[in-house]
Structures are given as structure tokens and as C-alpha cells.
Amino acid sequence: MTAMSTAQKDAARRALTGLDGKVALITGGGAGIGRGVAEAFALLGASVVVAEIDAGHAAAVRAALADLGGDHLVIEADVTEKADVERVVEGARARFGRLDVLVNNVGHFLAPKTDFADTDEASWDALYRINLHHVFLVTRAAIPLMTASGQGGSIINISTIEALRGIPGMTAYSTFKAALGGFTRSLALELGPKGIRVNAVAPETTESEQVRALAAVPPEHHDQIPLWFPIGRFGQPSDTAGCAVFLATELSAWVTGTTISVDGGALAAGGYYRMAAGNWTHTPVITHPGSMGQKPKG
Ligand SMILES: NC(=O)c1ccc[n+]([C@@H]2O[C@H](COP(=O)([O-])OP(=O)(O)OC[C@H]3O[C@@H](n4cnc5c(N)ncnc54)[C@H](O)[C@@H]3O)[C@@H](O)[C@H]2O)c1
């Protein structure tokens, strides 16, 4: 093999890890995880299209993207509305003429935890609409533009750890997020021959507009947070953004149809967490060593 020049190595590195010349559409990219993804993609050279319902969030991400440089487009739109979705995809086509990456990020649990038996049809429908229906609308509208370049692409669906484990009081949210896994797997098979990969990311509790994780913990319990996750902290939008970068770039060229957990190890821990003494348990009142408890450390 001939030795590579520095310029060739730089080009190879950029081809693997960069998004130069690519166009990425992110739904709900004005805050939280979506904004983290938008900024990461822009930093790596992509032109970013954000579809955002909230005017304030749209203005904020527009300013942030302008500051990062490059050509970006932020469109105020409700992605649960078909006409808005068509306007967004047409906006991307008119401005950039191509679409390489789609991040279906919009989603919400909508209401405090409620037993399923106490929920009604209207809440089921609303949760379906904000977590799954728009995934149909946006993906269906985006595929023709994604296939037009003939260069393949990547679809990334933002799921949740609650799609992979149960969550009492949020059965409908968990149901529609879990459905994203089936959508991801089946669509990956359909689009593989066109070079479009389809994957999902499943975050654990992540600081965002929707989830004020740290603020929800009384200050006197902040010292316990490191005990709750193997990697002892809540997630940040940059954690999911890092995984989205992997899925959007050539780093993941042979990865499709899968869901990646971004959860600080929570799913691996299952019901296990650490007690104040540092010992792991899933049965907190049992403190003796053995299969059901670990001897307190120290
Ligand atoms: N934050 C978490 O702890 C967490 C954990 C697991 C999964 N998730 C998932 O990650 C995704 C993002 O969550 P987040 O916490 O960053 O949310 P967020 O509410 O902080 O941000 C979502 C953004 O989407 C926008 N938006 C909402 N509805 C929209 C619509 N109909 N059309 C266009 N834009 C819309 C909002 O205005 C906001 O800017 C969701 O799918 C959520 O289910 C979040």
C-alpha cells in the first residue's frame, strides 16, 4: 500500500467522521436533544434544516447555527401536520436540492405518570400523534428527496430507554416509542438496497426543555445521583448527539436496523443501583453479601 500524504489522510478522516456537503433535517431541533444534534452536525460541516414548532426555540437555534457558520435553514412548522411537513421537505429541496440525514426527534410524554386504567382515548391519541404519527409523515415525505441523490443516507429515530424496559404510569408513551423499534428494523430492510440506513437511539433521562432532571432532585439528594447510573450522572443532549453523529457518518457504514442505548449503563444495570455505602443491590433492604446483595464497601 502506498503511503498517504497528509492531505490524503485529512481527506480520509473527513470522509469517515465529517458531514461536509451533507444536508440533515432534524425535527424539533430548537431545544434539548434535537438542538444538541443540530449543533453537532453543523460543527461537522453539514447544512442543517430544523423543523421547529416553537418560535422562540426556532429563533434561538437559528442564531446558534448562524454563529457556527455554514448554510442552514430553520423553519417554523408542526411536524404532526402533513401540510407543514410537505413545506419543510420542499424547503430543504428548494434550498439544498438533497437530503442525506433525517433525525425524527420530536416526542413527548405529555402528562404526569398516570395509571393506564385511569387514562382515556384522547390521551392515547395525543401520545400517538406526538410520538409516532409524525414519524410516518416526515419519513414518508423525506424518502424521495433522500433517494434522489443516489448516494444513500441515514435515518435516525429518537426513541427512549422506556421503549426497552417498562415504565409504570407511562404505558402509552412506552408503547409508541417501542413501535419505533419495529419501524426502524423493517424500514432498514426496505431502504438498505438504496444505501439508506435506519437506526434508533434510546436515551435515558437527559437534561432538556422537557426534562429538567437535576432540578427535579431535591438539593439534599444531589449527592445520591452518582449512585443511580453506572456512569453516575444524568444525560446531556451532547450524549445523544454523539451517537447521532456516529449513525449519520461513515463510521457506522455497516450499522442498520438497530437501536443504540445512550443511557449511562442504566439498561445494563437493570434494576440494580448503588446504595449510599457504594454496594450494588436490586433489593435495597437486603444488606448481607450473597446473590441478592453485595457487602457494603469500606
Ligand atoms: N429528555 C429526556 O430525558 C429523554 C429521554 C429519552 C428520550 N427522549 C426523547 O428525545 C426526544 C427529544 O426530547 P427532549 O427532551 O430533547 O425534548 P424537548 O421538549 O426539550 O425538545 C423538543 C423540541 O421539539 C419541539 N417540538 C415539539 N413538538 C413539535 C412539533 N409538533 N413539531 C416541531 N417541533 C416540535 C419543541 O418545541 C422543542 O424545541 C423526544 O423524542 C423524547 O421522547 C428524551
Q: What would the DSSP string read from start to end of 148-169?
A: HTSS-EEEEEE--GGGTS--TT
pLDDT of residue 280: 87
What b/e sequence results for 253-291 when a residue is b if at least 16 CB atoms lie within 10 Å of its CB, and e otherwise? eeebbbbbbbbbebeebeeebbbeeebebeeeeeeeeee
Grid coordinates given for 240: 445523544
Q: Give tens-digit pLDDT for 266-278.
A: 999 998 988 888 8
Q: What is the pTM of this model?
A: 0.96
Give 142 Cα–ligand 1 centroid separation in angstroms. 20
- Of the residues 88, 103, 108, 135, which should be mutated to test ligand 1's pocket, given the most ligand atoms within 8 Å of the CB? 108
pLDDT, tens only, 115-161? 999 999 999 999 999 999 999 999 999 999 999 999 999 999 999 99
Q: Quick check: is 128 catalytic?
A: no
Rounded Cα distance, 294 and 133, in Å: 45
Number of residues that make up the chain: 298
Span from the CA of 257 to the centroid of ligand 1 (angstroms):
22
pLDDT at 288 over 70: no
Pocket test for ligand 1, best of 74, 75, 106 (most atoms within 8 A of CB): 106
CB 233 within 8 A of CB 264: yes
Pocket (CB within 6 angstroms of ligand 1): 27-28, 30-34, 51-54, 57, 77-80, 105-107, 158, 160, 203, 205-206, 208-211
Average pLDDT of the residues of the chain = 95
For the cut 80, the answer to whether the pLDDT of residue 206 exceeds it is: yes
Top mean pLDDT of 63-67, 221-225, 282-286 is at: 63-67
- Domains, the chain, with CATH or none: 16-223+230-264 (3.40.50.720), 271-298 (no CATH)
What percent of the chain is modeled with pLDDT above 90?
89
Across 242-257, average pLDDT:
98
Lowest-pLDDT range of 32-36, 216-220, 238-242 = 216-220
